[in-house]
Amino acid sequence: MDYSNLISDKMLGVKASAIREIFKVAGKPDVISFAGGLPAPESFPVDAIKKICNDILDTEPVTALQYGISEGYAPLKQQILDRMREKEQIGTDNDDIIIVSGSQQGADLTAKVLLNEGDGVICEEPSFIGCLNTFRTYNAKLYGVPMTDEGMDLNVLEETLKNNKNIKLIYTIPTFQNPSGITSSLKTRKGMLELAQKYNVAILEDNPYGELRFSGEKIPTIKSMDTTGNVIYLGSFSKVFSPGLRLAYLIMDKGVMEKMVVGKQATDVHTNVFSQMIVSRYLKEYDIDASIENSRQIYKHRCELMLSCMDTYFPKNVSYTRPEGGIFIWVTLPEGVDSGKLMLEAVKRKVAFVPGNAFMTDIEAPSNCFRLNYSTMSDEKIEAGIKILGELLAETL
Ligand SMILES: Cc1ncc(COP(=O)(O)O)c(C=O)c1O
């Protein structure tokens, strides 16, 4: 059947993710892929999960296998609220929590609840392609605000808010941003919050990497400074436990919670109860902080190794971020160099990365930037892959 006349307007504008196309190449065993964004597989607590699964099926099989409630498994909700209050000073009496099936769904629900067709969403430029595509599927208008070393450019942010009355949401990844690795400064965070309050818009603070700091000083989340309920906080277990379990959470003002719940019911009724019980038991019976510390050490080592190889092999007119956590480095080439073309050449030499245009509001415009990921690569592959890229850059520039 020919579906071309049946596809909805909102989906017509959304293209298959460039990253997915790159993954087809990057997934080949002989390619060194810096294109992904997966957590290190050795960080998964496999033995503990095996034991927990057996215990759950022995002791609470019906709870695990029966329908659950849309807001989430009650013990897990409380554990997350306690943990977030302790670690991030998040959560007021006016806040509530809903467990969602990955932060991707958290962004989707936020868009579903807040956005009409044509409403504006401000995002960092560059930003996470998955959530940009979520906003695109609601026919939202994206307004990119360039990133500085300290996060969103506050002057451009204010100008954008002042000039576009359709804006309802600011989407930000303030800590170890995907794709840039940049962490927004305290000044930027406070500035974003003040502007959101001044212009009466919501902020979606997406923080899947926040606990993966391996150097520098911790900076408070925007949500922890929010006394007015403007911030919807999105946390995830994907990068600190397992992405396959699809577990994340939204902590937000009670004023928006009811619609989130109805929206979730219409999407998938509730998040997988078995997954929620696994994480709940893990939080109760094991030391997740020790496990996260292990991940931090893995990423610290890989990040430092990749940066030192880049210092050695990359030409001096190439600049790059030096992340203090998370899993990405952002590379900037001299003006006019098209990282998309460079990627095609790199793939011929069996190295993959993601060109910068994939993370922009205008994905058609060539970009002189690209994203490197270091979280899953062996030392040997990091060294070999960066050397090959360095040679390619030296020939190209
Ligand atoms: C910034 C950001 N937000 C959301 C997601 C989606 O994560 P989840 O697995 O929780 O859906 C990712 C995944 O890479 C991400 O980098």
Is the same domain home to 202 and 188? yes
Task: Answer with the one of 285, 315, 344 that is the final residue of a domain.
Answer: 285
Q: Tell whether the model's pLDDT for residue 237 goes beyond 70.
A: yes
In ligand 1, the atom with minimum distance to the C-alpha of 243 is 9
Q: Which of 20, 104, 371 to mutate to test the pocket of ligand 1 (most atoms within 8 A of CB)?
A: 104
Identify whether 356 is part of a domain: yes
Residues 191 and 177 in one domain: yes
Our answer on whether the CB atom of 243 is closer than 6 Å to any ligand 1 atom is yes
Residue 57 maps to a domain:
no
Quote the pLDDT of residue 13. Answer: 76
- State the closest ligand 1 atom to the C-alpha of 105, by its place in the atom list counted from 1: 11
At residue 11, the pLDDT reads: 87
Could you give the CA distance from residue 312 to residue 221 in angstroms, rounded to a whole number?
35
How many Å apart are CA 100 and CA 204, to the nearest integer?
15
CA distance 154 to 158: 6
Task: Tell me, in angstroms, the distance from the centre of ligand 1 to residue 155's CA.
Answer: 27
| Structure tokens that stand for 305 in this block | 């190794």
| Other beta carbons within 10 Å of 210 | 24
- Which residue, 135, 131, 156, 162, is CA-closest to 144? 156
Q: Which helix (H) or strand (E) holds 326?
A: none
Final residue before a domain boundary, out of 285, 312, 341: 285
371 forms bridges with which residues in the sheet? 330, 354
**pTM of the shown model:** 0.97
Could you tell me which of 219, 322, 242 has the C-alpha nearest to residue 288? 242
Q: Domain ends where: 229, 259, 285?
A: 285
Q: Where does the pLDDT of residue 205 fall: very low under 50, low under 70, confident under 90, or very high at 90 and above? A: very high
Distance from the alpha carbon of residue 211 to the mean position of ligand 1, in angstroms: 14
Q: What is the mean pLDDT of the chain?
A: 96
39 lies in which domain range?
9-44+290-396
Is 185:150 a contact under the CB 8 Å cutoff?
Answer: yes
Quick one: which atom of ligand 1 is closest to the CA of 106?
A: 11
Instruction: Determine if ligand 1 sits within 6 Å of the CB of residue 104.
Output: yes
Residue 74 tokens read as 């009650």
Average pLDDT over residues 82-108: 97
- Is the Cβ atom of 37 under 6 angstroms away from ligand 1? yes
Same domain for 325 and 187: no
* 296 and 266 co-located in one domain: no
Same domain, 132 and 263: yes
**Could you write out the three-class secondary structure of 112-123?**
HHHCCCCCEEEE
Ligand 1 centroid, distance to 175 Cα (angstroms): 13
Pocket test for ligand 1, best of 44, 178, 327, 328 (most atoms within 8 A of CB): 178
d(CA 23, CA 16): 12
Q: How far apart are CA 116 and CA 237, in angstroms?
A: 29
- 248 and 302 share a domain? no
Residue 356 gets the label, from left (phi > 0), alpha (psi -120 to 50) or beta, of alpha
- How many angstroms does the Cα of residue 285 sit away from the middle of ligand 1? 26
Ligand 1 centre to CA of 243 (Å) is: 9
Regarding the beta carbon of 208 and ligand 1, being less than 6 Å apart is answered yes
Please tell me the distance between residue 103's alpha carbon and the centre of ligand 1 in angstroms.
6
Distance separating alpha carbons of residues 214 and 79, to the nearest angstrom: 24
Mention every residue, 6+ apart, whose C-beta is less than 8 A from residue 263: 109, 112, 113
The tally of domains found in the chain comes to: 2
Average of pLDDT values for 237-248?
A: 98
Give me the percent of the chain exceeding a pLDDT of 90. 92
Please indicate, yes or no, if residue 391 is contained in any of the structural domains: yes
3-state SS, residue 206: strand
Residue 74 lies in a domain: yes
- Distance of alpha carbon 379 from alpha carbon 377, whole angstroms: 7
60 within domain boundaries = no
Are 18 and 146 contacting, i.e. CB atoms less than 8 angstroms apart? no
